[in-house]
Structure 1
Amino acid sequence: MTSIAPPLPDSPDTGADAPQSAADAVFHGIVQGLAQQRFVPGQRLVEVDLAAQFGVSRNSVREALQRLAAQGLVDLFRNKGAAIRTLSPQETLEVLDVAERMTGLLARSAARGIAHGAPTAPIQAALAQLHEADRSQDADAFASARRGMYRALLAASGSRELRRLLPSIHMPIVYAQHRPATLQQVRMRDYQAMCDAVLAGDAAAADAAGMQHVRNVREAIARRLGAVGLAAD
C-alpha cells in the first residue's frame, strides 16, 4: 500500500490518534487528512495556512513538515515551500513490494504473540469497529479503526523494530493517490482473514494473509490504472 503506510501496510499507520505536541497535531493531521482526502498528492502546503488551520505556530508547522519529509510523505523545495509527495508507478510498485513483506511479518509476529499469551481482546475490538465503520460507510471511522487494528497487531507482536519501521512505509500516499472503488471491500475481507489467522495463533497463515492483502491492493490499483506492468513482480 501505503497503507506512502504498511505503512504500513495499509500503512500501517501506527501513530496515536491523540497528538502529544503542536507539531504532532500537524503531523498526524496531515497523515489522517490524506486518508480522508482533505490533502491530496501534489498539493502545496503553505506554512501560514497550516498554522491557522491547526492553531499552532509556524515553527511547529516547520517541525511537522521536516518530520513528514523525513518519512517521505512530503517534498520540501528550497524557497518554494512544501508539497504532498506524488509517486510514480515505479515508486508505487516499490512501496507495495516493501509493504507486502512487512505486513506479512507483522501478522506473523502478532500471531506468535497471541500463541504465547498476548491478549486477543484489542484485536477483536478493532475488528468489530472496522465492521461497524464498513457497514455505516463512515470513511473517517474506518480509517481510525484501521489504525486501531494495526496498533493492536503491533502490541500483540511486542516487536520494537516493527513499531519503528512500519510508519516509514508510504502507504498513505499510495491510498491517497490511487482510490479504486473496490478497495474498501478488498481491505475489509483481507483484514478479517488476517485477524482470524492471528487470533488463531497460526503464524504461517497470518503471514500468508498479510502478504496476500497487499497483493490484492496491488491488483486493485493495477486494474484502475490499466497498468499491467504494475502488477508484475
Structure 2
Amino acid sequence: MPPPPPGSRPAAPPVRSRVEDALRRAIAEGEFAPGSRLVEADLVARFDAGRSHVRLAIDALAAEGLVERVPNRGARVRVVSTEEAVAITECRMALEALIAGKAAERVTDAEAGRLRAQLGAMRDALAAGDLLGYSALIQELHGLLHAAARQPVAAGLVDRLQAQLVRHQFRLSLRPGRPQVSLAELGELVDAVTGRDPGRAAAAATAHFASVIDALAASTGSPGGTP
C-alpha cells in the first residue's frame, strides 16, 4: 500500500471503536462504578454516537467481562469479587513479568530517565500524603514500562484485565502501610529495568504482583493473592 500523501490526516477510527475505547477507559478510570447502570441514551449523548454504535460497544465490553447485561434492566458495569480479582491478578502477574523482562532488554536511555523520574514523583506524592495521586502515578509507571517493552500484545491484554480491578486497587491504595510496600517493590522493578537485567526485572514484577495478591486476599480474610 503506498504511503499517504504529505499533509494528509490519518483516518479516524470507526465510531463503534471510538465509543468502545472511550467507555472502556471511563470504566478503567472509575467514572462508572462497579454495579452502575449504563444508560444507552446517556451514552449516546456523551459520546455523540448513534444508539446502534453504543449497543455494539457495550456488547464488546460485555465479551471482555467489563460489562454485563441484566434481563429487563439493561447493562451495568460488572462487579468483580475479591476471589475473581485474585484470579485476574494472577494472570496479570505472568504478563507483567514478561513485559518487565522485555523492558529491561529494550529500554532506551531516555526511557530509563523517565522511569527514574516517575519513581521520584511517586516518592514525592507519598511523602505529601497524596494517596490518590500516588495511585495514579503507579498506573503511569506501568504505562512507561509497557512502552519500553515494545510488546503491544501483552500490554493490550494487561489493559483489559486492569480495567476490571479499579475498585480493588482503590481500596488497596488507602490501606495503611500498603503504599510504602508497593513503593519499595516498584523501586526494585525500576532499578532492574533501568539496569537492563531482564531476569531480575521479571522477578521483581512477579514479587510485586504476588504481594498485591496477598494484600487483596488479606482484605477479606480469604487465602490467596491479588494485583
The alignment status of 1:132 with 2:109, answered yes or no, reads no
Equivalent position of 1:44 in the other structure: 37
Q: Secondary structure at the match of 1:76?
A: strand
**Aligned counterparts of 1:172 and 1:187: Cα–Cα separation in 2:** 19
Bigger relative contact order, structure 1 or 2, given CA contacts below 8 A and separation 6+?
A: 1
The alignment status of 1:108 with 2:101, answered yes or no, reads yes
Q: Which runs of 5+ in 2 are unaligned?
A: 1-11
**Aligned counterparts of 1:56 and 1:141: Cα–Cα separation in 2:** 34
**Aligned counterparts of 2:140 and 2:166: Cα–Cα separation in 1:** 18
Q: AA paired with 1:132?
A: A
Matches within 5 A, 1:22-37: 22-23=15-16, 26-37=19-30
Equivalent position of 1:155 in the other structure: 147
TM-score, normalised by the number of residues in structure 1: 0.72
Q: AA paired with 2:199?
A: A
**Aligned counterparts of 1:93 and 1:85: Cα–Cα separation in 2:** 16
Matches within 5 A, 1:16-95: 22-23=15-16, 26-77=19-70, 79-95=72-88
**Aligned counterparts of 1:70 and 1:20: Cα–Cα separation in 2:** 20
Cα pair distance change 1:203/1:43, threshold 3 Å? same
The answer to whether the Cα contact below 8 Å between 1:96 and 1:214 also exists between their aligned partners in 2 is yes
**Aligned counterparts of 1:215 and 1:173: Cα–Cα separation in 2:** 18
Equivalent position of 1:6 in the other structure: none
Q: Determine what percentage of the aligned residue pairs are the same residue.
A: 28
- Matched positions, count: 207
**Aligned counterparts of 1:22 and 1:30: Cα–Cα separation in 2:** 12
The answer to whether the Cα contact below 8 Å between 1:23 and 1:61 also exists between their aligned partners in 2 is yes
Q: 1:160: how far off?
A: 4.3
**Aligned CA-pair RMSD:** 3.1
